[in-house]
Structure formats: structure tokens, C-alpha cells
Amino acid sequence: MVKAIVRAGDLNGNGKDAVIFKVSGFDKNTTRPYLSAYEWTGAGFADISKGLEMIEDPIVFDLADIEGNGKKELIVLSAKGLSIYKHTDQGWVKRGHYQISSAETEYASDLKAGRNKDGSLLIVYSRGIKGPTYSGIKAYLLK
């Protein structure tokens, strides 16, 4: 079964959205989930996935304007924790990482991230879709 998560947002402030996909179960030989990214050029989509291959087993992700400059960053939750990536001319670069135990990321779904008026970053995800003993949400506030 193919499972996909899709988010869209302006990564470089040019007014053109990029699309980020998480795909898993794509074919019999590829069971590891991976991220792909494509940016709208005006004439079509260009592959801007370079650097996303370094992200091991992404669970959920979102795009958020962390710096308040109109450019969105990629926030990814994996079994190793939360990581923030910025798209540059050289590809995706990790801006930060926050260690979270795998017990806290298990059964995660539907991550949402955004800036508060005070400039802090709020990241929230659900933990109740698959696990009978896991429920509720997890929220992190990064200053």
C-alpha cells in the first residue's frame, strides 16, 4: 500500500511554492520512507530533493516560516527526534536537531508547525492513530 504525505510552501521567498512528498510502500523493493521535493518554476516542476536523502526514516513533517522572512523551512520528525532543514542553492541543509526518544515518536501522525507572535516555534503532532496504548498529542515550544 502506498502512503503519502504532501506539504506545499514558498522556500525561497519568490512567491512560487515547492511541494514536499513523503512516500512509503511505493513498490516491493522500496519499503523505506523517503522525502522528495519539487519547486514550481513557472513552466513546470524542478526536482530539488538533493540533501533529503540524508533524512533517515521520516515519520511526519511540515513546512513553517521559522525566521519570519517569508521562506519556509522543513520540520521533520523521525525516530531520532525533530530536525529542521533549510533549502539553499546547494540543496537541503540541517539547521537544527532536537533529540526525542523513539518512544515519544512512535505512532506519530499529522505534525503541524508554526511561529507564535513572540517568535517561538510551536510543533505539535498526534500520537493516537495506530497505537492502542498511545494517545493524545505531543507539543514542543522552541525559542
The CATH number for 91's domain is: 2.130.10.10
Of all residues in the chain, what percent are helix, strand and coil, respectively (each to 5)?
5, 50, 45
Average pLDDT rounded to a whole number, residues 88-92:
89
Distance (Å, rounded) from C-alpha 74 to C-alpha 6?
Answer: 12
Domains held by the chain: number = 1
β-strands 121-126, 3-9: how paired? Answer: unpaired
DSSP H helices in the chain: 102-105
pLDDT-based confidence at 28, cuts 50/70/90?
low
Residue-range definition of the domain harbouring residue 53? 3-142
- Cα 126 to Cα 65, 95, 136, distances in angstroms: 21, 24, 6
pLDDT-based confidence at 143, cuts 50/70/90?
confident
* Range name among 34-38, 60-64, 126-130 with the lowest pLDDT average: 126-130
Amino acid at position 76, single letter: V
Q: Please tell me whether residue 60 adopts helix, strand or coil conformation.
A: strand
**Considering the entire predicted model, what is its pTM?**
0.85
